[in-house]
Structure formats: C-alpha cells, structure tokens
Structure 1
Amino acid sequence: MVLGIGNILLGDEGVGVHLCNQLQHNYTFSGQDLDFMDGGTMAQALIPWIVEYDQILLLDCVSVAGAGVGEVFCFDFENIPSNITWAGSAHEVEMLQTLKLTALMGDLPPTTIIGLIPKIVPDNTTFNLSPAMLEGAQTAKAKALEILQAWGVTATPKPAPLDLQGIANNSYRIAL
C-alpha cells in the first residue's frame, strides 16, 4: 500500500467490502494513485492509514429511517444528512466514531461515503445478497466510478469480470 499520496477506496461492513473487492478485481485504475482497503472491523485502528490519504471514498452500510433494502445514499462526511444514523450494528457506530475522532484531531482528509441500506439477516447467516441489494450495489458501483473519475482516476474494465455475488461467495477465502 502506498501511503502519503493518492486516494483510498475503503470497503467497510459486508457489501461495502464486496463492492470494493469487485472494483479492484474488475478494473484497472490509472491517472491517480488509488489504494483499496478492507476496513472490516478495524475501527480506530484505521486512523494511521486514513490520515495519510488526500481523499477517501468509503463504501459502507448505513441506516436511514424509512429507506428500503438496496437504496443508495452518497454524501460528504462534513455534511452527513440528519436521516443517516449508521445504527445498523455496533461496527457501523465504530466507523462513524472513527471518522469523527479523526476529524476532531484535524486529520480527516475529504471523505465521501456511499452508503447502502442492508438487509438485516436473521439467525441463518448467508453469503447470498438479495436482489434489492445487488441492484443497489450496481448503483453504488456506478456512483463510485463517477466519483473516482472526478478525482482524475480512469477506470478501465478488465476482461472476465466477476459479478458481486461471485465476489461475495469467495472474498472470505482468498485475496482477490
């Protein structure tokens, strides 16, 4: 990972990680340095990495009252809409706290968040993404590519792309 310059696409919490992995696997990026990171459940442990970047694009799950599974919300961290609660899990609250703490220290680079509304899975955990989530992820991917283009990053599709469900099925096994 190159630190100190460029941009980072940070995947966090479930589908955000899968989407980050899909972009990394399916595209070649040029024009600006771009790193990918699975933020997983690292929370405050991410701060040393976060502060080294010029810009951050965070793919995450968010909670919004009245929103449906797969809906996509895009916003800058400095202007989090009041209806975004990030309250779906303890981890999501930790990510919000991590960003707030980094901002409080004056070290948070401009951060754009693409948030998807997840499907809350009951007792039977599965790697299968719902049709609504797959559709929302397509919208989120298009938005991520649009933001990266605005940052001066060119995305060129690679041959033999993997779909998001294929990434989800295998991302826990191997580094893509």
Structure 2
Amino acid sequence: MSKILLLGIGNVLYADEGVGVHFTNYIAEKYTFSHSDHQLDIVDGGTLAQGLIRIICQYDKLIIVDTVNCHDAEYGDVYFFNFDQAPAEIDWQGSAHEVEMLQTLTMMDMVGDRPETHILGVVPTVIEPMVLGLTDKLYGAIPTMEKALLAHIESLGFSHTKDDSVKIEQVIPDAYKRGQIDAPYSV
C-alpha cells in the first residue's frame, strides 16, 4: 500500500499566504477520494515546516500546496511540478515559511527520508498581516489549482466524488480553528 500526503502550507492570518491551508481544507470538504490499495491523507501543515518531518517521512508521496514566487509571473498564476524538476523561474524566497519548507525538504533529502514530492503553487497577490481570506486573483486561481490537483490524484489511480455545494469561501472563516496536523483527513 502506498501512502500519499496532501499537505497545505501557509499562514492563514496573512491573506494570500494562507492559500495552501485554505485550499487543502476546501478539497477535504468538497471531495471524497477512494482507492482500493492506496491511502490519501490531507493535512493542514500551517507554518510548521521542520515540525512536519516526523509526519512527512511516513509517506511514499507528498503533494505540497503553497504560495510560490516566480520571475515574470502574474498574480494568481498556478504552477504544478515535481520538486526534483522545479522550473528555473521558481523562487523560494517569498516568505519565511516557504524558505523553511524548502530547508525542511532539503534536510529530508540529505538523510534519504523525503518522499517523492510535487508542488502545487500559486503566486500570491497580497501578504498582509491580519487578513483572513484571499484576494480576487487567488480566488480566481482556485479552479485551476483544483483541476491540476485532481488530474494528479487521478493519475495515482484514485477516484473521487464531490459535493458541488462546497465553496472555498465557506471553509476560510474556520481555518484558524482547525487543528494543524492533529486531525488529518484520511481517505
């Protein structure tokens, strides 16, 4: 059995920087995934980075949802790539948690514990303190992120059902109430 982790990273109190957390909570609420042989867990990793090592190393595959910086990109542009083949234009210097996550993955590489890793990233518009929510550009990017993620999960052999009544705007107000890593969604 293969174990796959969908990990949302971000600070929900800094507007668009919280998109990874908001998006994974949204996916967990909207979709039910199933596979006869594999397990998919969905976790809000917040800004824990190195604190997540003990969890991440238990998985065979990792999908991280987060903001990314990219030279010559527009706000709301979506990137999905294998971490080992990151596009040259991707810049990991956007926020403290991005740098820490990069360092975490690098440390895991050094000891051979990093699972096969894919990044689903979006270029943020606003990283501002004490704003719970996303800008219009990032709300507009959610369908593209959703399509990329579902295509990847389907390529791993998962099927899914969805609840069309769930909107990302509904899960954002409770993001700070959800427990980081204590209550993973497991399917």
The match for 2:34 is 30
**Corresponding letter in the other structure for 1:49:** I
Match of 2:145 in 1: 140
2: distance between equivalents of 1:155 and 1:60?
A: 23
Whether the aligned pair in 2 keeps the contact of 1:116 and 1:137 (CA below 8 Å) is no
Aligned length: 171
> How many angstroms apart in 2 are the aligned matches of 1:100 and 1:121?
25
Partner of 2:174: 170
Which 4+ stretches in 1 moved above 3 angstroms? none
Residues 87-139 of structure 1, C-alpha deviations (whole Å, 9 max, x = no match)? 1111110001111111111111111101000112346x322322210111211
Q: Could you say what secondary structure the match of 1:171 adopts?
A: helix
Flag the structure with more relative contact order, 1 or 2, with Cα contacts below 8 A and sequence separation at least 6.
Answer: 2
TM-score, length basis structure 2: 0.85
How far apart are the structure 1 equivalents of 2:56 and 2:128? 33
**Aligned-residue CA RMSD in angstroms?**
1.8
| Larger relative strand fraction | 2
> Could you say what secondary structure the match of 1:101 adopts?
helix
Cα distance, 1:42 vs. partner?
Answer: 1.0
Amino acid at match of 2:4: N
SS in structure 1 at match of 2:154: helix
Structure 2's unaligned 5+ residue stretches are 11-17, 180-184
Distance of 1:58 and 1:22 partners within structure 2: 14
Deviation at 1:160, TM superposition (A): 3.2
Please report the TM-score for the alignment, with normalisation by the length of structure 1.
Answer: 0.90
Alignment of 1:151 with 2:148, yes or no, is: no
Give me the identity figure in percent. Answer: 36
Equivalences for 1:51-130 in 2 at 5 Å?
51-122=57-128, 125-130=130-135
